[in-house]
Amino acid sequence: MTARIGVITFPGSLDDRDAQRAIRIAGAEPVALWHGSHDLEGVDALVLPGGFSYGDYLRAGAIAALAPIMAEVKDAAAKGMPVLGICNGFQMLVEAHLLPGGLIRNAHQQFIRRDQRLRVENADTAWTSDFATGQEIVIPLKNADGGYIADAETLARVEGEGLVALRYLGVNPNGSLDDIAGVTNASGNVLGLMPHPEHAVEEGFGPDTSLAMRSGIDGLGFFRSAIAAVVHAAV
């Protein structure tokens, strides 16, 4: 079967087409979805892309978390559908209470763009199974509101229950607690991360590596993981 992965466009989304392209390169069929719809069009997985939905008014992702389609996203997530939130999408997922914690302005109060080293802390999710626990990867990062926060009780639960999916290595770019770059829910089907895997899926357009400039394709693993999860669920 060919997995169908929906990418939801919100007012102010910037990376929806990039996510669709990444899905196609990974071997699935991208399906464009609209924030004002209640129809997920029978997709097998969902991506909430990066950008600045509603201009980041109120809080980044707060208004988008109330969009009509988010009712369907919550229902699908509760039933086990793989859901990925990238950057602004991660902000939406915490605002919609599909993931624990929150995201605030970077500690240095500046927008940051860099190729970011990460360590995969949990490879047992629908979006990280293509990696090994402890594997180091590099994908681009670009955000202004990427500081992960949580109260002491929530942070202890996130750490204690293995919900940290990815952690920053080398440098903490935004002041995130415990160097957290991405978290998952307890079921492992919902994942949010601040770095952008969709920008590291094709040689010639990804981060620099020791082998060649712009040759990094570590982002493909996230989308391949979801495809594998969908195919496995269909068997």
| Residues labelled catalytic | 87, 196, 198
What is the Cβ-side half-sphere exposure of residue 91, based on CA atoms within 13 angstroms?
Answer: 30
Residues 6 or more apart from 124 whose CB is under 8 A from it?
Answer: 133, 188
HEC string of 30-47 equals EEEEECCCCCCCCCCEEE
Neighbours of 231 (CB within 10 A): 14
Amino acid at the residue 179: D
End-to-end CA distance of the chain: 10
Residues 6 or more apart from 116 whose CB is under 8 A from it?
Answer: 138, 139, 140, 141, 168, 173, 181, 195
| Cβ pair 182, 127 in contact under 8 A | no
Rounded Cα–Cα distance for residues 98 and 211 (Å)? 39
What is the Cβ-side half-sphere exposure of residue 40, based on CA atoms within 13 angstroms?
Answer: 22
Which residues, listed in sequence order, are joined to residue 143 by a DSSP beta bridge? 112
